[in-house]
Structure 1
Amino acid sequence: MKETAITPARIELSDPSAGSGPGLARELGLLDATMISVGTIIGSGIFIVPASIALYLQFSSLALGVWVVGGLVTLLGALSIAELGAAMPAPGGQFVYLRKAYGPFWGFLYGWTTFTVINTASIATVAVAFATYVGYFVPLGVAGIRVVAIGSIAALTAINCLGVRHGATTQNLLTFLKIGSIFALIGASFLLRGGSFSNFSPVLPTLPVTGLAGPLALAMVAALWAYDGWIEVTYVAGEVKEPQRNIPLSLLYSTVLAALRYLLINFSYIYVLSLGKMSRSELVASDTATVLLGRYGATLVSLAVLVSTLGANNGFILTGARIYYAMAREGLFFDWVSRVHPRFRTPVPSLVVQGVWSALLTLTGTFSQLFTYVIFAGWIFYAMSCGAVLILRRRAAEMPRPYHTWGYPAAPVVFILFAVWLVVSTVIHDPRDAGIGAGIMLTGLPAYYYWSRKKK
């Protein structure tokens, strides 16, 4: 392990406002940065993914084990990316790292794919999930769900336009409520009657290892999807105070906290329901609460889902806009997207264009399928970003690094291998979706040609 502490004076912080005009302000502390990551990791996945894993794996040791392995893999990625975040604390996160390591084209392709589908379709998907659960309390038709979804996107976008402090405070509040509701359900599972340790049977697999390879792979993909969002804080690195210290710590804390909650909540689900019932349940958390609290349990879980999805979307909206802002500053997106509000010190044009596109995707009704097509693309960029740690250690050895990746080079290499495995598995099992996803990514080619020539 290398020394991870270094005096701030050795790092020249990237100035988000380099040039004329107002710039972004460093107003986010360690708590803010950690809550951004925690809030985006734990969204709707904690209520959906456990049922899928229970369907694939009917042995409690394996069903819980994939959450442990998924957490460890995510932690390896977080520890690796933390080195880049501390060394290059500028807005844009992966856009900055990929551009530095591989050239402007790869940085642009990442940003383009994130804007057109990955981040905006995520916002649309989570907004519709939020609106759907609003329908539990207020009857909504298809049109009503879309109106509420778009309204939530508009409201969160407006809050984040008013200042990064406003966005962070909203994130902190929603994330604390989310954490509280999850631990309340965990506590109720063991304090109230309804559960049994007999529900963990069978604990160990009775099938040959070869017969479990396919189900394990599918379960692992689902778990890794649930951990997605761990990297979001790097997009706002230009607004984090003491980023040399706070970026690595926030990535570490948020990943460990998320893994702990995922493991405990799944332990609770199995204790109350059993894997068999989980595999047949469409609403695992709601069914668990109903066993413990009756019909009031489903109501409380619906409220928890509202808070959870709203918190996740606030994080996506807050962080994602910084990517397009960074692209525009490099001349690789619309010039006006690089503007910062002189009073609020936020990238208002970037936030607005992100909100408008997300709302349009919500209206099309195809956002969920689009997201499915490109979900593997996110892991391509994750692998490349961890590869950037290896490349820049050699190519930019002189670059000050206030934090060195723990377990280097094993940490980034193992994460890259997992990412490559996930991408290859997607291509093998869903070649059509992977092909369409690659096609969506390649729409960035003419866009890059246009902006790169315009820049010249």
Structure 2
Amino acid sequence: MNENVKTEASLNRTLGLFASTLMVVGIVIGSGVFKKIVPMAQTGLSETAILMAWILAGVISLFAAFTVSALASLTEESGGLYEYFRLSFGNFFAFISGWADFIIISPAAIAALAFLFGEVINSFIPLPKPLDAWKDFSIGGFIFPFANSGVKLIGILAIIVLTGVNSLGSRESGVFNSIITSAKILGISVLIIVGLAYSGPETQSSNTMFNNVNAPEGMLFYSAFFAAMLSAFWAYNGWETATNISGEIINPKRNLPLALTIGLSLVALVYTLLNYTYMNVLSLQQIRAIDVNQIGAFVVAETLLGTFGKILLIVLLIICVFGALNSNIVSSPRKFYRMAQQGYLFSHLKKVHTRFRTPHVSLNYMMILGCIMLISGSFDTLTNMVIFLNFVFYGFLAFAVLRMKRKGMIQAKVTGYPFVPIVLLLFSVALTINTIWVQPQQSLVGIMLVLSGVPVYYYFKKQKQFNHTDQS
């Protein structure tokens, strides 16, 4: 009997509004806001248009958060979007969304952040490449597991260490996340303040490739603006994974919607001010002249404070990426814990550590899958698929709110209803169609991987029915 009680140990509610809000901010602020100014400038857009792209992407993200908040009023359980889809559309669609997260979205995000963390460390302290002798070995001609071995080993180490920290308890991991996120906000605030006060000479660049870019007009303007928004969306990506920890938030029906709204509003403000700072220190022509593979914020920091500024920004970027990686490792496994509770994923994923009350088995699964994707190294394809699939499911979330509110199943007030979910639905459809049109092969791969969950769903459904009959 005691053994059963231990096996069915539940998650502890230890995260208040402050910790939950910092969790949202910690998940979102990674590297995107430091890197995306260069490709956005190279679209030929004006300063005003670039800032509007950041603001509009923040507004759409807030609309999605309002939509999710309406669905969050239905349950206090962990599981995030999986749980909301289960209540809205039933087990099948919920499983498909969760399966996409399990095999693509979450491990890909963890792998990409871990790889970037290793790259930032390498830019500061050159790392050895112990497996460089086999760097040209490939699997299928496009997976090179031994290339960039030093960066990958540091990334793997970061994933393992953070998985260990987050296995010790949600209160401890929440405190750890709050410290890292507070350091992020402090560092970015210093950069903004120094940058806004800057009035010195601008850095001159000998690269004239982008110095005479003509501003796009007509349909070309909308195409460039849409491309800039996609860059901004990558920087805002990930906030929805905070919903996975509902089961560990105190009074989640109140605190989760507030955390999403306050957290994303703070991020939007920080992103807009930081990009305004970049363009206050350097002209658009100079930003366009920066190599697209470089981090534009490094040039800004070096202009402001010399080599010391660049070092400070590297340290800040390390903190930001490490914090985003930590937040993703915290939140992702909670969804798979909930799926296993419902009988639609491997049963041992629902195990909770009897002492620390964390889903340690689910954490370990994400650690293994994240490391495998990190070794594969196909990050650009994976991260593009993350954005594409996220907006597919955002569209369904908007439809769920419209449907359930009309049927009277959502009693809580929905911010901006029906305007907010309708705008989100239309935007998600437009982005999905555009992505399929522009990147058909990549989109098809993503769709096929998601649909691979159909036979898996029926396997677990059959197992669940068998277990129920057996118990009877």
Question: How high is the TM-score relative to the length of structure 2?
Answer: 0.87
Q: Where in structure 1 are there 5+ consecutive unaligned residues?
A: 1-16, 197-201
Q: 2:152 aligns with which of 146, 160, 163?
A: 146
- The alpha-carbon distance between structure 1 residues 206 and 112, as it changes in their structure 2 partners (threshold 3 A), is closer
Q: Find out whether 1:439 has 2:448 as its counterpart.
A: yes
Cα offset, 1:207, TM superposition? 5.1
Cα deviation code 1:314-348 (max 9, x no counterpart): 11111100011011111111000001011101100
Distance in 1, matches of 2:372 and 2:180, equals: 25
Distance in 2, matches of 1:294 and 1:455, equals: 62
Q: What secondary structure sits across from 1:56 in the alignment?
A: coil
Cα deviation code 1:27-49 (max 9, x no counterpart): 00001110111111111111112
Q: Is the 8 A contact 1:85 1:247 kept in 2?
A: yes
Q: Is the 8 A contact 1:195 1:273 kept in 2?
A: no
Report the AA paired with residue 455 of structure 1.
K
Q: Find out whether 1:350 has 2:362 as its counterpart.
A: yes
Q: Which moved more, 1:368-377 or 1:26-35?
A: 368-377
Q: Which moved more, 1:133-142 or 1:262-271?
A: 133-142
Cα offset, 1:350, TM superposition? 0.3
In structure 2, the residue matched to 1:383 is 395
Q: Is the 8 A contact 2:34 2:295 kept in 1?
A: yes
- The alpha-carbon distance between structure 1 residues 445 and 371, as it changes in their structure 2 partners (threshold 3 A), is farther
Q: 1:306 aligns with which of 301, 304, 318?
A: 318
Distance in 2, matches of 1:398 and 1:355, equals: 37
Q: 1:26 aligns with which of 2, 13, 16?
A: 13
Q: Find out whether 1:51 has 2:35 as its counterpart.
A: no
Distance in 1, matches of 2:289 and 2:317, equals: 20
Q: CA RMSD in A?
A: 1.9
Distance in 1, matches of 2:101 and 2:435, equals: 19
In structure 1, the residue matched to 2:143 is none
Cα deviation code 1:271-328 (max 9, x no counterpart): 1112222223221110000001111111111111100001101111111000110111
In structure 1, the residue matched to 2:61 is 74
- The alpha-carbon distance between structure 1 residues 103 and 351, as it changes in their structure 2 partners (threshold 3 A), is same
Q: What secondary structure sits across from 1:345 in the alignment?
A: coil
Q: Find out whether 1:157 has 2:163 as its counterpart.
A: yes
In structure 1, the residue matched to 2:254 is 245
Q: Find out whether 1:286 has 2:286 as its counterpart.
A: no
Q: What secondary structure sits across from 1:186 in the alignment?
A: helix
Q: Is the 8 A contact 1:374 1:434 kept in 2?
A: no
In structure 2, the residue matched to 1:121 is 108
In structure 2, the residue matched to 1:360 is 372
Report the AA paired with residue 70 of structure 1.
A
- Sequence identity percentage: 33
Question: How high is the TM-score relative to the length of structure 1?
Answer: 0.90
Q: Find out whether 1:97 has 2:84 as its counterpart.
A: yes
Cα offset, 1:130, TM superposition? 0.5
Cα deviation code 1:361-409 (max 9, x no counterpart): 11122244233234311111111112211122234x255x4x4211101
Q: What secondary structure sits across from 1:171 in the alignment?
A: helix
Q: Is the 8 A contact 1:45 1:226 kept in 2?
A: yes
- The alpha-carbon distance between structure 1 residues 250 and 374, as it changes in their structure 2 partners (threshold 3 A), is closer
Q: 1:260 aligns with which of 265, 269, 291?
A: 269
Cα offset, 1:19, TM superposition? 11
Q: How does 1:76-225 map to 2 (within 5 A)?
A: 76-140=63-127, 141=129, 142-194=148-200, 208-225=217-234
Q: How does 1:32-47 map to 2 (within 5 A)?
A: 32-47=19-34
Q: Find out whether 1:335 has 2:347 as its counterpart.
A: yes
Q: Which runs of 4+ in 1 moved over 4 A?
A: 17-20
Distance in 1, matches of 2:124 and 2:296, equals: 19
Q: What secondary structure sits across from 2:239 in the alignment?
A: coil
Q: Where in structure 2 are there 5+ consecutive unaligned residues?
A: 130-147, 203-210, 466-472
Distance in 1, matches of 2:240 and 2:219, equals: 34
